[in-house]
Structure 1
Amino acid sequence: MENAKGSIRIGIEDYFLAKDKHDRDKKFRMISALRNIYAGILIMFKERLLRLSTDRCLIFLESDKESNKAWLNEKILNKKAKTVNVHEIKKLFKKFHVDYQKKYLDQLNQARNELEHFSADVSDDYLEELLVKAHRIILNFINGFEDETIENWIDRDQWKKIEQSYQLVQEEKKRIEEEYKNFCFFPEQLEARMKHSLCPNCFSSLLSPTGKKDDPVMECRYCKKKYSPIEIIQSEHDEHYNIKNGGDPTLGICPQCDEETLEEDGDEMIFKCDNCGYEQSNCCECCGSSIPIEEVSEDDNYCGPCRIMLNKDD
């Protein structure tokens, strides 16, 4: 428990050091802040697993029987012991009906991975939004510990400052919302997507519409970089051609506007273009299988093999 509290406190301190404009390592302290707070939350989760299990062994992987046995009988930890990962924690929490705000945790995990492996430049507002979500997880979760109070975990004055910064960002977002009313060049589908997008450079959510009707531009209020709407959509799929590692593309060429902005919505079983609003079923009319996104055609609704077979019949 003390390790969890320590990680969260260090993360908060890194955040405030990063806010100091004179700190030369600002961008790395931002990453460190998120990393430490996320790690603290996971350790907090493992403490909950310890308290949920009568033999105090839920923190170990089920396959690690030797470590479990040593811990049970002799209270000795095997140096090679492996504790549960995020996936295992989620499974156990589901089993024991523990509420842990999965959506926020997944967002923190994804952001941590993106920042550690793909970018070292982070906007203040992006991190503040993530920290507020981390705060929600901590506040909600410590209710499961009868002997814990919020004062044992966080400095209220520090979190008050973070919340205030977050509120300033929300106010700026409201001003941007008003700009959208004046900038009426976007189709409904594209406008909705832009409002929920992040700057490809610094991950700021403060993207403002500007430019002309035939050349709309999104400008980041934080780093001042400018992007076309299509560039922003494509930036969210930087790895969509990871064919070498067995991955499949997640973006395709839209048959209607010819832009690489076609995405698959698995829930609605459709392909949709965020640029022009084009929609098409992702199920082959002939065999019923899912159509690969690279085989989408406006002329028919068939997968590649069925299209070849039908053409042969003709």
Structure 2
Amino acid sequence: MSILQNALDSIAIGLEDFESADERRIISSTRNIFAGILLLFKHKLCELSPVGSDEALIKQRVLPEIDATGAVNWIGRGKKTVDVQNIKDRFESLNISVDWKRLERINKYRNDIEHYYSTLNNESVQQLISDSFLIIRDFIADELEEEPKSLLGEDYWKILVDVNEVYAKEKQECDSSLEKLDYFSNEILYALQAYRCDECGSGLIETEDSDKAIEASFKCRACERESHYEEIVNDAVKQFYADDAFSAHKDGGDKPVVDCPFCFDGAYIFLEGVCVSCGDSATHECVRCGCNIPPEEISDDNVCGYCSHMWAKVMAE
């Protein structure tokens, strides 16, 4: 059986798992759909592998070999095939386009569903299937140069389209409900719109309130878990800035979020200059030396760490 057929079968089985009334098949659904996407990618690499190379582009181990004419050829060795990072590296080198951020989100969501979420139903995986639909549709059409509906089959194509349309509509409704609230900063709104339910992982977070966000309650449309603003806002903001926080840690730069120096419980968004819990703002320029105060030195004293240290020394003398 070809890799392409394996890919199509895996996606089909994943969609059958999703359609099943047996909730135990939800995890199987996410595994099969993600596996199917990776197999589509491997099929493309097989197509591009040179004849006689033993499908070198999908093998993790590729070694040089001199043929009868004296030419050097790269040949795939062993049974171990490329992983996600290998595929990404080879696609980028070959100018093959994939929405990698979306794929990483699918992969993370699949992993979270398997290991962390305690409440699962079909609505919980709508987002994963919606994201998968976009990856599958674009890759088949743009890179495999096939008609997605014909390749997948009308029945499975309809499931993908329907789930994507339903999720997109519900997500828009939920996001619109959040926009009715009054926030300390629009960044908090964006963070809540990107937030995923702790119980089921769904991004369908909505509210029936329409006044101050800090006084509002929120509900997950998928599992109906209810939370007050203060119960989810800090996690939402930290998740929203997770990539920036990682980049700051890895490459240097300002932390995007630190602990609030006023209430000590809230996340303080440095660039916005506001705490998501209490709404207070700190001074970002030292009143003594005029220098910018870095995020980790933000306090309620309006001075940088150096000036605070020197002032403490003077007072101790």
Q: What TM-score, normalized by structure 2, do the two folds share?
A: 0.70
Equivalent residues in 2 for 1:220-231 (5 A)?
220-231=220-231
1:150 aligns with 2:148: yes
Q: By how many angstroms is 1:158 displaced?
A: 3.3
1:20-74 per-position Cα deviation (integer Å, ceiling 9, x unaligned) = 2xx2xx0x4222211111111112212222333434312233xx356x76xx99x
Q: Tell me, in whole angstroms, the C-alpha distance in 1 between the residues paired with 2:62 and 2:285.
A: 46
1:296, distance to aligned residue in structure 2 (A): 3.3
- 2:41 partner SS: helix
Q: Which residue, out of 109, 113, 116, partners 2:107? A: 109
Structure 2: any 5+ residue segments left out of the alignment?
66-71, 243-248
Q: Which of 1 and 2 has greater Rg?
A: 2
What's the CA shift for 1:178? Answer: 5.8
- Paired residue for 2:14? 11
SS in 1 for 2:217: strand
| Aligned-CA RMSD value | 4.1
For 1:95-174, what aligned pairs fall within 5 Å after superposition? 95-142=93-140, 143-146=142-145, 148-151=146-149, 153-174=151-172
Name the counterpart of 1:47: 43
In 1, the alpha carbon distance for the partners of 2:62 and 2:171 equals 52
Question: Which position in structure 2 is the counterpart of 1:91?
Answer: 89
d(CA) in 2 for partners of 1:109 and 1:279?
37
Rounded to whole Å, the distance in 2 between the matches of 1:278 and 1:42 is: 47
Matches of 2:263 and 2:283, distance apart in 1: 17
Aligned partner letter, 1:33: S
Question: Which residue matches 2:31?
Answer: 35
Alignment partner of 1:259 is 2:265: yes
Question: SS state of the match for residue 223, structure 2?
Answer: coil
TM-score, scaled to structure 1:
0.71
Q: How does 1:224-239 map to 2 (within 5 A)?
A: 224-236=224-236
What is the number of residues matched between the two proteins?
Answer: 285
| Counterpart in the other structure of 2:68 | none
Q: How much does 1:305 deviate?
A: 6.8
- Tell me the equivalent position of 1:244: none
2:246 alignment partner in structure 1: none
When residues 229 and 85 of structure 1 are mapped into structure 2, their CA distance, relative to the original with a 3 A threshold, is: same
8 Å contact kept, 2:110–2:128? no
Distance 1:306 1:43 in 2: 58
Give 2:216's aligned residue: 216
TM-aligned CA deviation for residue 170 of structure 1: 4.0
2:126, 2:163 within 8 Å by CA — same for their partners in 1? yes
Q: How far off its partner does 1:279 sit?
A: 6.3
Letter in 2 for 1:4: A
Q: 1:78 corresponds to which residue?
A: 78
Structure 1, unmatched stretches of 5+, are: 241-246
Determine the structure 1 residue equivalent to 2:69: none
Secondary structure of 1:100's match?
A: coil
Whichever residue aligns with residue 262 of structure 1, its letter is Y
CA distance in 1, matches of 2:224, 2:17: 25
Q: 1:30 to 1:272 in 2, by over 3 A?
A: farther
Output one character per residue of 1:187-238: Cα deviation in whole Å (capped at 9) or x when no partner. 4433443333232212233322246867421122332221122321344559
The residue identity in structure 2 corresponding to 1:159 is: W
For 1:32 and 1:171, locate their aligned partners in 2 and report how far apart those are by CA, in whole Å: 25
